[in-house]
Amino acid sequence: MTGGKHVRKSGVSIRASRWARLVVVLMSLSLLAAACGGGDDDDDGGGGSDPTTETASDPEDEGEPVDGGDLVYGIEAESDGLNPTTNRFAIAGVEMGLAVFDPLTAFDEAGVAQPYLAESLTPNEDFSVWTIKLRAGIVFHDGTPLTSEAIKVHFEGILADPLTSLVPKQIFGSANPVTIVDDLTATVTMAGSVATFPAWLTAQFGMIASPTWIAAAKEDAALNQEPVGTGPFTIDSRQLNTQTKFVKNPDYWQEGLPHLDSVTFIIATDGQARNQNMQAGDLDMMHTTNPEHLNEYIEDDGFDEYIDELNEETFLMMNMTKPPFDDVRVRQALAYGLDRETVIELNDAGFGTIANGLFHPDNLFYTEVDNFPQYDPAMAQSLIDEYCTDVPAECDGGKITFEYKTTPSPDNDLFFQTVQELWSPLATISKIPVEQAAFITEAAVGNYEMVLYRQFGALDPDYDGAFIDQRSLGAISINWPRLDNDEIQALLLQQREEGDFETRKEIWGEITTKINEITPYIWINHTMWGIVAKLEVNGVVGFELPTGQTSYGMNEGRHSLANIWIG
Amino acid sequence: MGFLLRRLALLVPVLLVVSFLTFMLMTMLPGGPEVNFLGPQAVQDLSICDDPELDLNTRTACEDTIKIREELNLDDPLLVRYFTWLGNAVQGDFGDSVITGVPVSQTISERLPTSIALMLYAQAIALLIAIPVGIISAYRANGVVDKSTTGLSFALIALPSFVLALVLLFIFGKKLGWFPTRYDIDAAFRDKAKAMFLPALTLGLGLAAVYQRLLRTDLVATLHEDFIFMAKAKGIPARRILFRHALRPSMFSLITVVGIQVGALIGGAIVVEQIFLVPGLGLVITEGILRREFQIVQASVLVITFVYVMVNFVVDILYGFLDPRVRHARSAR
């Protein structure tokens, strides 16, 4: 399964939106066939099935790549720095990181993590130790040779940082899990069986930086803005919250790549303005999660769109340790009481697919789960009435009362007004604005009752398992809703140890069912991530990986830059 | 000369008072630099760290928070911290951002020239519009032009800047393609000037509305003074009366407000900066406030205060130029 739809407009007479859906269906069917193929998982980390010879529908022939050109790329946010061991990479940060770093693995179109900067990743019998072998002859931009020492410095650096370690420390046995075997080989010891380890290495967590640079950046934090990797581009200039420019690495280890002379990332946080920049031709590519804008571009022949709706979810999240959300009746009542079609109609102009669980129906890990509460105002009211009879202290005039925290933005304000109105028979809600910098902090320390959130976009859901893991519960926790369920915990660990994709898929179906029963999340829709590009921008998806497979399309706005060309 | 020295001498106490007040207010805000440095790991109430039953996560968070507080001297008394900061500031060292590691002086030196350019551009546009329109409105008070410009001025004053920005961006940037829709820091000077026109126009139109109203009001009052009637009686042409006799004494309110707007434009044009991607100081200050980055806010406030005082110093000089009686009164002291 590729990352969703790739829509090209060059002379195609079919309406673009129908073409896009056709492509999605064809891609999904072919990749479902690939997933069912089974096979030997020893070298692919157990994260899925073997690559298949039945490839997905190829993007329209783009012709032969042409060298040269400067790409101007509008992204939605800045990153505090570009050091994968200490800085917080959001999607925008990962995309900039992919310019200057190579990850150890990369997803192929079947959703299997294939070696990328690594030559191979080999597990032991029970997946508790992984041996990473690097490719020979690769040099960092500062001249430091790529050796296994870089792997050691990388992982230990991540685990030593209080922020970047939050998610990955779930899978490591210690703070020093790496043992060097030889110049190019290292072993990594896990905390138990982790068959999915390669899938963790496709983004920030697998981006290997120069150990020389990492050591220097420890002494001078300003160097976090001047990243040094092995990637297709090197840093040229960076003005925070304005733009970051990368130029071609002439000594890149993948011969013939990159094609572009430079990539300049423009930080354009205002979605409307970014959209205007794109339409006026002042950007060559841009990120967007606005379904209405995406639909306009689909209808417009002058652009290409790459859309991923298959991975991340948008949902309302409730803190299960705070009343009234410590009672499942309240959580379910609000789920029953929310007309999500109306929510999407009012907030996303009707574009978007209602979510009923962790996975989009076209996602490889999807199994049909039908136990999420569907709109039923009578049921909602009866649950609230029952709760208010039992716990009158948490109710006022027969309605529950709670706080809704949100970052101040026009879109978020509209969303709040929508849910406030739809829930008016059930609840009295007070809105508490929280600025963005503090928003995640509030969630992490449990200082909230309800928030609107986005999560679960990892191609392999094991990575997102950290956010529902019991072991991360505490005063500060990335298990944001404080989900504490032994059954889910056991299933989580079981799927991590499991090498067979079909078995893992089944387990995730059980996890989703259980989560829906407990209802810490009120699913809204599958987040629509989009990249819009000028027609002359090619090579965004569907290129060949070093291992020979075709790359995954685009996941949550993330994609390789090495193969892009303008012509 | 004595006047100049006295005004310059005022600069120091003003800077001290403003910087101390800012320092104190930032300290009083909930959440401190350790929150920004450590993110969700930062412990805001350290009393929980004494609990022997603490889980590993929280214990690590406590240790990290205590370490950061020691490194940043957050447990020192307010005055000690302030004077340490001041001592470094006078040497041009405003510290480094705790989040990005970039020296604050570097961030400000990158952004300040752009903010000043945008401010000057906006002021120029505003004055180029406001002065002639104000003169015409005052000269033909209550006429068609006056009433039209009055209505338009109120509309511009009421219109939020982000709405105006998006409308200008849409019409002149996207639809007509006359101007770039974003500011490119790597472009040549001419292209930068062109790219800065729409953001400057957005700011300038709002200012022009205010300036035009001020000038019109003062000019109408001046035109009813006895010396104007005398000038008319002497047969002096209307144009000469307007520009030679009436305009100068009517400019006091205008130049006062222009001076006040300087500081507001340098640090407060965040909406315009964000929409047009102009890398000014406004965004930096706002981010600094939201993230509790004391160093950035302190340094920015200091810079803006300095500019404010210097600009108002120039405004005072201009008063003397506009009205010789003011100049002579100063000399007589």
pLDDT category at A425 given cuts 50, 70, 90 is very high
ipTM score: 0.82
In tens, the pLDDT along B297-332 reads: 888 888 888 888 888 888 888 887 777 776 666 665
User: Residue A429 contacts by C-beta under 8 Å, 6 or more apart in sequence?
Assistant: A401, A402, A403, A404, A416, A419, A420, A423, A450
CB contact under 8 A, A276 and B174: yes
Shortest CB distance from A436 goes to which of B166, B182, B290? B290
**Contact with chain B for residue A477, Cβ under 8 A:** yes
**Rounded mean pLDDT, A272-298:** 91
Rounded to the nearest angstrom, the minimum Cα separation between B184 and chain A is: 9
Give the number of other CB atoms < 10 A from CB of residue A175: 12
Mean pLDDT of all residues in chain B? 85
Buried b (16+ CB within 10 A) or exposed e, B239-252: eebbeebbbebbbb
Closest-CA residue of chain A to B283: A241
Q: What is the mean pLDDT of residues B81-88?
A: 87
pLDDT in tens, B159-171: 998 899 999 999 9
pLDDT at B329: 65
pLDDT of A370-409, one tens digit each? 999 999 999 999 999 999 999 999 999 999 999 999 987 7
Of chain A, the end-to-end C-alpha distance in Å amounts to: 27
The answer to which of A46-50, B7-11, B78-82 has the lowest mean pLDDT is A46-50
> Of A440-454, B40-54, B255-269, which gets the smallest average pLDDT?
B40-54
Strand order in the sheet with A233-239: A5-7, A303-308, A529-534, A285-288, A70-75, A262-267, A243-248, A233-239
Which pLDDT score is estimated for A49? 29
CB within 8 Å: A223 and B166: no
Cα–Cα distance, B288 to B290 (Å, whole number): 6
- Residues of A numbered 244-283 whose beta carbons fall under 8 angstroms of chain B's beta carbons: which are they? 245, 264, 266-270, 272-273, 276-277, 279-283
For residues A124-145, give the mean pLDDT. Answer: 96
CB crowding B45-56: b at 16 or more within 10 Å, else e: eeeeeeeeebbe
Mutate to test the interface with B, among A88, A159, A266, A270 (most CBs of B within 10 A): A270
| Residue A440 and residue B38 in contact, taking contact as beta carbons nearer than 8 Å | no
Who has greater pLDDT, A49 or A205?
A205
Pairing of strands A303-308, A529-534: antiparallel
Segment holding A498, helix H or strand E: none
pLDDT attached to residue A80: 86
Rounded CA separation A244/B7 (Å): 43
Whole-angstrom Cα distance, residue A550 to residue A542? 6
Q: A17 pLDDT exceeds 60?
A: no
Residue A482, pLDDT score: 96
B43 and A476 in contact by Cβ < 8 A? yes
- pLDDT higher than threshold 90 for residue B19: no
Cis omega before residue A258 (within 30°)? Answer: yes
Give residue B216's pLDDT band: very low, low, confident or very high (50, 70, 90): very high
CB B179 within 8 A of CB B195: yes
- Asked whether the beta carbons of residue A267 and residue B291 sit closer than 8 angstroms, the reply is no
Res. A51 pLDDT band, cuts 50 70 90: very low
Yes or no, beta carbons of B180 and A477 under 8 Å apart: no
Q: CB within 8 A of A330, min separation 6: which ones?
A: A324, A383, A384, A387, A400
For A408-422, the pLDDT digits (tens) are 777 888 999 999 999
Nearest residue on chain A to B278, alpha-carbon basis: A242
Among A235, A233, A241, A205, CA closest to A223: A235
CA distance linking residue A501 with residue A505, whole number of Å = 6
